[in-house]
Amino acid sequence: MKRVLSIQDISCVGKCSLTVALPILSAAGLETVILPTAVLSAHTAFPGFTFRDLTDDIRPVTEHWKNQQITFDGLYTGYLGSFRQMQLVEQVFADFQHPGMLRFVDPAMGDNGKLYVGFDGAFARRMGKLCGKADMIVPNLTEAAFMLDEPYLEPGYTEEDIRELLKRLTGLGCGTAVLTGVSLEPGRCGVAALNQTTGELITCSSELLPVSFHGTGDVFASACFAGLMRGQDLETALQTAVDYTVEAMRCTLAHPDHNWYGVDFESAIPKLLELLNITCTPGSQH
């Protein structure tokens, strides 16, 4: 079984970051090691959330793993809360680097043209530097604009605009850039990716649902990373993640009293397993 590491916060309530990544990656048949960067009572869209910073534990924890010769097939980082955490993540990338290890960065910082509470332009530009050290990054249009310090691409953009934006993102230094929340046709929404070495533009889309939910970025990133770790090629992994995210949104909408703070990704897990061709044969996960 592949072993992966996910570095992000635990928002106890809110269905995001590690409470999304851990169940999705485990369901995908990946041994998932977690490195919580902070514990919040709830994610930062809740007023009055509590925040326990765990930055000082990152080094001792990873040093222990190194002493125990623990290795990873992939590293996946999400929401990070400070400049120091970004620098420590770069150190973790370097410490555990080996050929074939995938460094996957979701620069979770904002949405709908705005950064989340607590972030500013300088933080976003520093996140751009961390993205330069990754093999693959998955920003949305908001995060891309802030990392590159340029205006947010308003709806009405063309495929050429997206290709140029992806080129500037790969210019940060990452191998592959993926933009999420891209709509190139009326009534459809999905993702676009550029592979720096081949120059190929890949797009994947699904029907555009008339809603926007918190936490879909984390569901998408977790499923995309899971697909890649399960051996899917880029295009297949992107389609897996788009289809799973849309299914999670549909499951959420199916409950009239659904909560406002996250999507019903749990009910959509059977669909994820189907997309990943995972069956329950003993030993099949290895």
User: Residues interacting with ligand PXL, by CB under 6 A?
Assistant: 9, 11, 16-17, 40, 43-45, 79, 108, 116, 215, 217-218
CA dist 131 to 65, 77, 82, 127, 197, Å? 24, 10, 15, 6, 17
Nearer to ligand PXL, 9 or 234 (CB): 9
Concatenating the DSSP letter of every residue in 248-268 gives: HHHHHHTSTT--SSS--TTTT
Shortest Cβ distance from residue 203 to ligand PXL (Å)?
24
Nearer to ligand PXL, 108 or 229 (CB): 108
Helix (H, G, I), strand (E, B) or coil at 227: helix
Return d(Cα 138, Cα 78) in angstroms, integer: 10
Two tokens, residue 156? 């009405």
Return d(Cα 177, Cα 95) in angstroms, integer: 23
Nearer to ligand PXL, 44 or 239 (CB): 44
Residues 262-278: b if buried by 16+ CB within 10 A, e if exposed: bbbbeebbebbbebbeb
Return d(Cα 222, Cα 164) in angstroms, integer: 26
Nearer to ligand PXL, 78 or 128 (CB): 78
How many whole angstroms from its chain centre is CA 270?
20
Nearer to ligand PXL, 9 or 243 (CB): 9
Nearer to ligand PXL, 108 or 242 (CB): 108
Shortest Cβ distance from residue 278 to ligand PXL (Å)?
25
Beta carbons within 8 Å of 34's beta carbon, 6+ residues apart:
5, 6, 7, 18, 21, 22
Shortest Cβ distance from residue 131 to ligand PXL (Å)?
16
Shortest Cβ distance from residue 32 to ligand PXL (Å)?
17
The helix (H) or strand (E) run that includes residue 181 is strand 176-182
Shortest Cβ distance from residue 116 to ligand PXL (Å)?
4
Nearer to ligand PXL, 20 or 102 (CB): 20
Shortest Cβ distance from residue 11 to ligand PXL (Å)?
5
Shortest Cβ distance from residue 255 to ligand PXL (Å)?
20
